Structure 1
Amino acid sequence: MSSESRPKRARLISTKSNLPPRERVSALTGQARLDTNLSQTSHPSQYQRQPRLRPQPQPQLQPHSQLQTHQGFGTLSNDLDLGGPSFLLRGLYSSPCLSHAAHADVRTQPDQTSYTSVNDSGLSLHGDSIPDGVGLEMPVPNGNTDNPSAPLSDDLDDYWYALTHLEMVLRLDDKLFVFQDWDSEHQCLKIGKYEHISFLPEGPATFTVSCTCPSYKTREDCRHCHIFVRYHVDCMLLECIVRAPLPDAVLLHVTPYRKKYIFSSTSGSSSERYHSTKRAIVSLRKDGRWQCDSCGFSDSCKHRPQAKAFLVKAKFIEDGAEEVEDDGNDLDEGEDEEDELLGRAISGRGDVGARGSVSHIMVLPPRWCASPHEMAYFVPKVDPMQMSTFPINPISARCSCGLSLVDAQNLHHMDLLPATFQPAILFHTAFSSEVVVEVVPCPRCRHARRHIGPDLSEFGIFNWNNTMLFTHDLLNEYTSTYTASETPFSAFCLTRRRAYEEQSASMKFCSNETFVRVWFSFVKLQALDSGMACSTCGDQPDIVIADGISLGTHVSKVTSHVKPPTFLDTQSERIESISSYIAQCLPTIPKQTERNFVKKILNLTSGAYTLDAVTHEVNASTIPSKHPELYNFILLYISIGCYEFGFIRIRSLWVGPNNDLRPLLFKSYRNLLEQISAPDIVLQLVPYRAIDTLNKIKDTGIVPDWFQRDFPAFGVVAEVHRRSHTDLPAALRVLAGWLASRATEVYMRLARHDPSPPNYNLQSAASQDWYKTGTYYGLPAVRSRRSRADGRLQQVLQDVL
């Protein structure tokens, strides 16, 4: 399809690089190499619609293998095994998304089943089922994309168009997807920004969708969820880009931008004892720094080790390397603004910005926060509007890397180029102006955008990077606003943009991210410290504990006017014991000694063990007689963990030497047993809505796909059996019935009827002076409360005043 005949829809921002098309990755030789599939991606012509007017031209689409490096790992083979499930260099299928049309043509790999049309294959894009082998059974969604909070339909169509044509809908497993994020303002995909989308079946006919983006975390609604609900059939037809089981780190993309290697990584290795499957996007930047969407730039990030081990194992980087090798295809990092600037500045982990600012001379504090005897009170104001050209000062000029003009003349005089003048923008409090700055190319950086420039502090100007200048009045105004009221950066930048628009509609203020970096660099040059500091932690402690207000009143402060809004009568329930966990037997295993014994079994099986020794320990306990259902499950658990016994007797629980799922099965059993032995209430493990399903599992042995949402630990066990194509063992079915009975027993014990209606005449409250106490504990009593055996609050205490 030519660019002239293609409808002009959303801008497709290509991350094309000039990598050789026939690189390969070989685990045998230890050299990195890529197998690139150069076949063009076919898209059905039925998807074409009437073009929408866009001011920007439509770029020429490139083959997917040239746009996305994750395409180029070739077909799956056992030769790409780099050392276990955590370090498999996974091949990604060439699986273009289906268009949302009445007749879709799905072209698959030769070894895959091909569906030529909807009518021929019986595949209905709007139905509620998918042929076997293509994906999960697709229930009808309960989402509604027509609600007022949903994104506009045209915007979703543009987003989906860009995702499908650049093939940035990545399916990790049956229920986990990765979408590249969308910029609604510029109508393009965000470079280096990805989100995890989870498909969560709730029942046989409904499902929900969750996302890791900030919008979903705040209001449980985002464009990623809406687009998945709208095109869920197309998404579920995609092949998984990696083979099961899902590795700890999956390389999603290699870009020529600042974020070079982008991963989907778990928060711990699958070989660890405590392992979480929750994933986050982790990227290795060109400057050698790791960035995590969850942990930022923290050195204690738990998602980073898995991704780093992947790159080291694949020979992409050397172990301990601090810099990423430059292949000559990287773009200028100024074109990619993807940093968490505010979090980085507040945390104090390094400088704000990769190099710093050009201005470096200390700046006096503003007059309003200076004492009359301080120098700042007598510093005259200089109007920067009096000058439009700023020559370089040989004494104070320097580059953002820290190299001064004097040092450059002394150390790099042979490489020093002549000074030139370049345009810059000067940001004032209410408008911006164009100025000219004299600069000298930096001989150390050797970069087109890095020059030695003037400091300009004598003119009341802060030189950020020789192209963006800020007046001291503008930066001091935010300091004044922030100290007077808690004004966020975004709010202050919004007020500046409105002020700029009053001057001219074409006048633009800088971005929020840039202003954050500039302001933090500026205040570093000011002496604004108050002198308050901790003797141990210094002036910037990592943890600050603030005082709070209690919602209740202590019993010692209760008087005839300040008392709980309840009363005691003859109908009040009497509490004999406060220890509810011991008295009411709320945990799954009631007795603590029995729970401790199960934990002992878990400790014995944490390493190598023999079957006879552990079985003898189990038989010597009270578990077989008091909890036979749990006893059978423990025997099954220790049998799978013992290699010799499992290899000979339980061969049906795993599938062949090339796809051994027994470690995952043992780990899922262990996790379930750990949660059963926890001292928490059983309803925390088994919610009330899961009781009926557990009883059905006991009778039929069939676990629904959506059960993991209600009972995660049991659902993971069932999922591993589903992957290994094995039936649920009888011991697990019996255990499901026992868990259901325990949850029902505790629920009925804790069930309470609705409280009796208030028997207090609220009309008489107006005659009381309870409002004079200044607390809600002075409100009139409206309901009875339970009485306690220790006698506290049995009668109203007399006033002590």
Structure 2
Amino acid sequence: MPLNRDDSDTEIPRVEAGSGSVNPVGYEDYAEAIIQEGGAFFQIGQDLFIANAWDPRTKTCKSSWYHLQRTTIGDSCVIVCRCPLAKPDSPCVHEKFLSEYGREMFEDDFILTGGSEDVVLFSRQETTPDCFLNYFSSPSLNSRALNGRTIVTYEGNDTGGGTWSCAKDASALTCVHISQSRHMLQKLVQTDPSARDLNKTKVPNSRRAAKDNKSVSHLPISPPTWASLPSDPVDYVPAMPLRESPGVIPLIQTSSCCCSNPRHFYAPELPLKRQACVIYGLYQFWEAEIEVQNCSRCTHRLVGPDCRELGFFNYNNRKLFSHDLLDEYTSAYTSSETPFSAWVSVLSRRYDIHSSGGQKFVTADMFRAVWFSYVQLMHLEGDMSCPRCGPNPENTIWDGVTLAFNRKHLLRTLEPPTTSQVGSVERDKTRYTPGQQLIPDRRVRKLVRKVITGSTLSLGIGVETERMDEEEDEEDDEDEDEDVEDGREANIRGGQGSRKERAVNRARAEILERLEAIPLALEGLSRLDPDLGALFDQHFGEQSVVQRITPPEVYRRLFNQLSAEESVLQMATATALDCLEVFVTNPTGTNASALVEIPAIHEALSYEIRSVQLISERTVSVCHWILNRGRMVLNQLIKYGELPQLPVGNQEKPWTETGCCYGLPKIRERPKYPKLKHDIRNDVGGKRGAKCSKFYSQYGERRLTGGIMVVWCTHSISYGFHCIPRGEGRNDVFSALITRWETPPKRVIYDFACALGPYCMIREPDFFCGTQFLIDDFHSVGHTKCSAAAFLKTYCNVDPRLSHINSSAGECGNSGITRIRKSVSYMSQSRAIVYTKVFLSIWNRLRIRSLN
């Protein structure tokens, strides 16, 4: 029976929270503070409350806030608080107070209509004239639960231009909770329920990057022996690992000070001095002396030896580190997930075992700074190219990886290939070109697919329908036998019989629709090309249905390609059209066998040669129609010639700043396409094209950057990467190819290739006209609405030479990159870039060594 507010005899529900006899620590003081001193305990909704945290030692309220919810379940009143002291079996002071004084202080009042979906401004205090400290309770967009709410704080004037912060992420400049609260503030200030905050959150112009390489050592360092390549330069002979203290480390000609660039070097005519230093090795450290010289350019640094030939890395003339120690961490983190802090803990324990006198290793922060300075001197060049695929691989595999750092570390220096420069070429004639399909009429395409899709047609119920009926009869008999004992046999039979009839009727209606579509599809195809219609009628027409002739599967695949909802250039590239022209001009078996780049046509011609030893003129005529249609679409797309290249010797910005590191130099700028309004819009979170059922993965969790785009060859060797500020999209692959490749690869394998192809062809058809955009085997399962022309396996079926393409090479590389995902997520931008580059260089070097 529902509670009646006007009925004073209504029973009050039993309170479940706080019903224990033992009060929480400090509860009496807390209750007194709330009741007598007017402490902060607010009701913000029908069942929502909010209260300050309580410190029982000082008997004062803290500045943090926690939400409570009071709900009636059955005959119990359930109270839940989000403060850390609230336990299922032990209530906190907030729960206890609400259970005892809740109905006295917060009577049921229907004026409070706020619910779990509303933003509430529950506290507003003036700090200075026209400036206020505001507290909002903001819900989550995808959760109405209590734990979805958070506290948003705003200090400033009523324009919303002050300081905003969210309790879930104090470092976030903007988030959904802050955005909701900004709008709510304007609604209250303007007394307009439709008011919105139109101010944009200002992101700082820049943040301080990781420290530059300020180590005393400055000469290039050779990679570890286990990762070296024959092409690496040999500038010095690496020293053997240190076994004892070297005594005194002298100054030599290459000694310098790190205070300036160019460096100030050792001057033999000036006086020297010695100071104590520590050399850290793999198992212990050694004390030694090092010769230094006062720097004449600065007052707080010293000229010191580089120590490269000795096998040391001189960080600051006081702390030196052996090369084998630093290489040991490189080996560890490139082999398995090894954060700096964990590795330093291992080294510290190793020092405890192998050394005496209480020797301690350096802290994780110190070692991190030393390692980054060290690897920036290491010669890791010439390793982003496969010795077998060459500098311009024919087959490339592209994939985005969720390797991201926090957005608060994002600097303006980050410059992915998607960035258009001031001098970028403008393609103002480039527009979206609809109607690129082989069959221009969408209605005809749909009719053709309706006819050819499904079981073989006949004048009655198809074989598949009959088999379905038989299986349902068997299942019904089994069910009926089991239900006889329950006395419900007659009813069950009636229900099952009606269900079977409905299934049969649906199957019959579907077949009738397909039969009725045959003449309409035939008419539409015949208008395009009489021989095309005749070929369709020969294998799928009414006569073949009457005679119960099963069409060969090769023609079903051919017409499936012809009626696909994608550009004809996906089925046949410009190179494939050239081969098709050779065949149409001279339709021999040899020329037919060369059409492996158009698998649907190749299979149909091979079938005719095998079955009747003759290529029909009708099929040749259809090929001629496909050739003309493909050339016409290509000519419609091409509006410009080749893109201009950058001047020879163009100085490229350092990859440590731009986050764009490829084995190929930058030769072009990304063009601008002003008539394509969605040219550089991110695809993240949206559907991947109108015809593809696959959705974008969410690259990077909230508050992280968009990860990296990596390109691999078929031997899982990376040719480079670039950092993505927001989220992976087709633009990343397109821009990287345009700016780095002299000529595009023959095949671009990508998990979103079905939409990447049209994206590239609409912008630079002259550049990409000979490129096949293919989906690898692993991801093709998710592309249920894409035609077979977009799948790599379709081409492998007719061309065994493609069997060597390891389409999972990208996935293999990505699985290795996951080892550093956690470490990178906590790094600044510059360190994350260096960390990733070193990992990929070591990965490549080990793969290259295994190929030799």
Query: TM-score by structure 2 length?
Result: 0.28
Query: TM-score by structure 1 length?
Result: 0.29
